C-alpha cells in the first residue's frame, strides 16, 4: 500500500506546529442554569470563537457510528472517529447486529462457554455494567444472553451487575435491577433452573478501573465476583437501599461492592472451577484490567487467591494488539489507515499527551484501538499521572501539568502535529456536582489560554474541539426543553451522563497568515470530518476514503 501523503497546493503548511486540543465533555449546551460551560468564565474560548473560524460538529449517534441518534457519544467513540476520519460501526451497533442475525450465538466462543456448563455442570456467569446508557454496555444485550442461556438448557446462571449512575441518572440503579430480578425469577421458577444475582457494586468502586489508575477497584470486584468476599445482603435491592440509607446522597457509581447470600449465609454465586464467565461490556477501556485478572498467568497487581479454572470471554476483544481477552463473542471494529499511522509513515513528528484518565484516548483509541506506536522514532506519547477520585475535590485535575509539558515539548521544535486531551469537563461532569464542573471548565480555559499563546508565538495553528458533550448539560430536561425537578425536593434533577449536544470546532491560525474559512455546505458534518481537515492544515491532501474536509 502506498502511504505517501501528497503535498497540497491549496493549503501551505504553517511555520509552526498544528496543535489539536480535545476539551473532553465540553459541548454546546442550551445555555441555561444547568449548562456549566455557559455558566463558567471562559474568556479564552469566547475570544477564540469571536476572532477565528468555528462551527458546530455532531458528536453522537449515527454521525460517529452508533446505532441511532438517540445514542450519546463518548470518549472512546469520539477519538476513534477523529483518528479514523471515517464513520466506523462501533461496539453497540456491532453487538446489536450480531444479536439480530444470530451470529453471536453461532460462534466458537459461545459454543465453548455453553458446552462447559451443559456438559460439565458449570455455572454461567455474566459480569458487566447494568444500564441502558449504551456507552459501555446495554441491558438488552444482557437480557439476550440470559434468555439464550435458558433456551439452550443452561441450568445455573449468575449475574454480577455493576451499577451505573454515570451514563444514566445517578440514582437509577433499581430501575435496572428490578427488571433483571423479574427476568431471573421468571426463569428461576422453572424446576431445572437457578438464575440469580450474585454480586455487584458501583462502577467507580468495583471492577471497572481503566488505564491502571487504581487496581484496587479491580481487586474489590474480583474478590466479590470470584471469592464472594464483600459485605453480604439477601438481595441487590437490599444492598442498594442499605448503602443509600447509610450515606445519604451517595450515587450509584460510588456504591461499595456487595455479595448476595442464601438462607445459610453462604454466597450464592462465587466463580468456581469449571464455570464460564462473560464480561458483557462492549467498550474496552474499563474492561481490559478485569480481563487480565481472569486470564493472565503472571499477575503482579494483587493477590488473586485460589484462581478458578474458567473459560473467560469478553463481549468484544478489548485490545487487538495484546489479544485481551483471548476469547470474545463479537469481533471488534477494524480501524485501519488512521491519521496517526499516515503521519508516522511519512516521518512527521507527533506528540500525544494527556493525564491517565484520557491517555488511552489520545493513543490507543486515536490509533484505531491499537496499542503502542507506529514509529517510535517519530512519535512520543506522554502520560501525566491523574489524581485519584473523587474528581470534584480537585476539579482542576492535571490541566496545568499537561499544558506545562506540552509547551515544553513544543519549544523543542521536534513535532509538527501535537494532540492533547483535557479530561476535566468529562470526568468532573460525571460527578454531577455543578459548582465543581463550572470550576473544571474554567481551569481548562485558563490552561487553553496559555497553550494558545505558546502556539501563536511559534506561528502554529491551534485547533480546538470536544469528543462529546457532558459539562454542557448537568440537569435533566423534559421534551419541551424545560429542566426537570425532583418531586420531593423541588431541585433540578442531576444529569451525570453525556449529552446529545454538538461540540465546537475552532481553528486559530498563525499571525500574519490569511485565515482559513469553514464550509457551510456540510450540515451533517461530525467528528469524522476532522482528520481530513487536519491533513490540509498540515499542508497535505487527505488520503482517499476520508470524510470531507471542513475547510473551504
pLDDT value of residue 515: 66
pLDDT tens across 363-383, in order? 999 999 888 999 999 999 999
Locate cell 455557559: which residue?
38
Q: What is the pLDDT of residue 54?
A: 96
Per-residue model confidence (pLDDT) at position 514: 57
* pTM listed for this prediction: 0.83
Residues 286 and 317 sit within 8 Å (Cβ to Cβ):
no
- 497 burial type by CB count under 10 A (0-12 exposed, 13-18 middle, 19+ buried): buried
Are 275 and 125 in contact by the 8 Å Cβ rule? The answer is yes
Q: Which residues of the chain have pLDDT under 70?
A: 321, 511-515
CA distances 12 to 6, 225, 241, 338, 522, Å, are 12, 57, 62, 22, 23
What's the pLDDT score for residue 511?
Answer: 66
Please give the share of the chain, as a percent, with pLDDT higher than 70: 99
- Torsion angle of C-alpha atoms 301, 304, 309, 310, degrees rounded to 10: -70
The three-class DSSP label of residue 504 is strand
Cα gap 286→308, rounded to integer Å: 22
CB atoms within 10 A of CB 415: 21
Q: Please say if 75 is a catalytic residue.
A: yes
Catalytic residue (one of 75, 131, 497, 499): 75
Could you give all domains of the chain from N- to C-terminal order, each with its CATH number? 18-89+335-477+485-537 (3.40.720.10), 92-330 (3.40.1450.10)
Residue 328 has a pLDDT of 97
Q: What is the pLDDT of residue 468?
A: 97
Residue found by looking up cell 484490567 in the block: 289
Tell me the backbone φ, ψ of residue 22, rounded to 5 degrees: -105, 115
pLDDT, position 512: 58
Read off the C-alpha cell for 498: 453525556
Residue-wise burial string across 277-299, b where 16 or more C-beta atoms lie within 10 A, e elsewhere: bbbbbbbbbbbbbbbbbbbeeee
For residue 530, which of 429, 417, 437, 431 has the smallest C-alpha distance? 417
Amino acid at each position: 500500500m502506498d502511504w505517501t501523503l501528497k503535498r497540497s497546493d491549496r493549503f501551505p503548511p504553517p511555520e509552526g506546529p498544528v496543535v489539536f486540543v480535545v476539551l473532553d465533555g465540553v459541548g454546546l449546551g442550551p445555555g441555561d442554569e444547568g449548562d456549566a460551560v455557559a455558566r463558567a468564565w471562559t474568556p479564552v474560548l469566547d475570544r477564540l470563537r469571536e476572532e477565528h473560524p468555528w462551527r458546530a460538529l455532531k458528536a453522537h449517534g449515527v454521525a460517529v457510528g452508533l446505532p441511532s441518534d438517540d445514542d450519546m457519544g463518548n470518549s472512546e467513540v469520539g477519538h476513534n472517529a477523529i483518528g479514523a476520519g471515517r464513520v466506523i460501526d462501533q461496539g453497540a451497533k456491532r453487538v446489536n447486529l450480531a444479536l439480530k442475525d444470530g451470529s453471536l450465538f453461532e460462534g466458537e466462543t459461545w459454543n465453548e462457554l455453553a458446552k462447559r456448563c451443559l456438559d460439565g455442570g458449570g455455572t454461567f456467569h455474566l459480569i458487566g455494567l447494568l444500564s441502558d446508557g449504551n456507552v459501555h454496555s446495554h441491558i438488552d444485550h444482557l437480557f439476550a444472553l440470559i434468555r439464550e442461556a435458558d433456551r439452550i438448557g443452561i441450568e445455573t446462571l449468575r449475574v454480577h451487575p455493576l451499577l451505573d449512575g454515570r451514563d444514566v441518572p445517578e440514582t437509577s440503579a433499581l430501575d435496572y435491577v428490578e427488571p433483571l430480578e423479574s427476568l431471573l425469577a421468571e426463569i428461576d421458577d422453572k424446576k431445572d433452573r437457578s438464575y440469580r444475582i450474585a454480586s455487584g457494586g458501583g462502577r467507580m468502586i468495583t471492577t471497572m478501573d481503566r488505564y491502571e489508575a487504581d487496581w484496587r477497584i479491580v481487586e474489590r470486584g474480583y474478590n466479590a465476583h470470584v471469592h464472594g468476599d464483600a459485605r453480604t445482603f439477601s438481595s441487590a435491592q437490599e444492598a442498594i437501599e442499605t448503602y443509600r440509607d447509610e450515606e445519604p446522597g451517595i450515587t450509584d457509581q460510588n456504591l461499595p461492592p456487595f455479595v448476595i447470600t442464601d438462607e445459610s449465609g453462604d454466597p450464592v454465586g462465587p466463580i468456581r472451577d469449571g464455570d464460564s464467565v462473560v464480561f458483557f461490556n462492549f467498550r474496552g477501556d474499563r474492561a481490559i484490567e478485569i480481563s487480565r485478572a481472569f486470564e493472565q498467568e503472571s499477575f503482579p497487581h494483587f493477590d488473586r487467591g485460589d484462581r478458578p479454572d474458567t473459560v473467560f470471554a469478553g463481549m468484544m476483544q478489548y485490545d487487538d494488539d495484546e489479544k485481551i481477552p483471548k476469547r470474545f463473542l463479537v469481533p471488534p471494529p477494524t480501524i485501519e489507515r488512521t491519521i496517526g499511522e499516515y503521519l508516522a509513515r511519512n516521518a512527521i513528528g507527533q506528540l500525544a499527551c494527556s493525564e491517565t484518565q484520557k491517555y488511552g484516548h489520545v493513543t490507543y483509541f486515536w490509533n484505531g484501538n491499537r496499542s503502542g506506536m507506529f514509529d517510535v522514532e517519530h512519535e512520543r506519547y506522554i502520560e501525566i499521572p491523574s489524581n485519584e477520585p473523587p474528581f470534584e475535590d480537585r476539579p482542576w485535575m492535571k490541566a496545568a501539568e499537561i499544558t506545562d509539558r506540552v509547551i515544553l515539548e513544543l519549544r523543542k521544535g521536534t513535532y509538527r502535529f501535537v494532540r492533547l486531551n483535557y479530561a476535566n469537563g468529562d470526568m468532573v461532569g460525571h460527578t454531577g456536582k455543578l459548582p465543581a464542573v463550572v470550576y473544571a471548565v474554567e481551569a481548562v480555559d485558563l490552561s487553553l489560554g496559555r497553550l494558545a499563546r505558546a502556539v501563536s508565538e511559534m506561528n502554529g495553528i491551534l485547533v480546538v474541539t470536544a469528543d462529546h458533550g457532558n459539562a454542557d448539560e448537568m440537569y435533566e430536561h423534559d421534551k419541551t426543553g424545560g429542566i426537570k425537578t425532583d418531586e420531593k425536593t423541588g431541585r433540578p434533577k442531576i444529569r451525570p451522563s453525556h449529552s446529545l449536544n454538538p461540540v465546537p470546532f475552532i481553528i486559530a491560525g498563525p499571525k500574519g497568515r490569511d485565515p482559513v474559512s469553514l464550509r457551510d455546505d456540510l450540515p451533517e458534518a461530525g467528528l469524522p470530518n476532522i482528520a481530513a481537515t487536519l491533513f490540509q492544515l498540515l499542508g497535505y491532501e487527505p488520503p482517499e476514503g476520508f470524510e470531507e474536509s471542513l475547510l473551504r
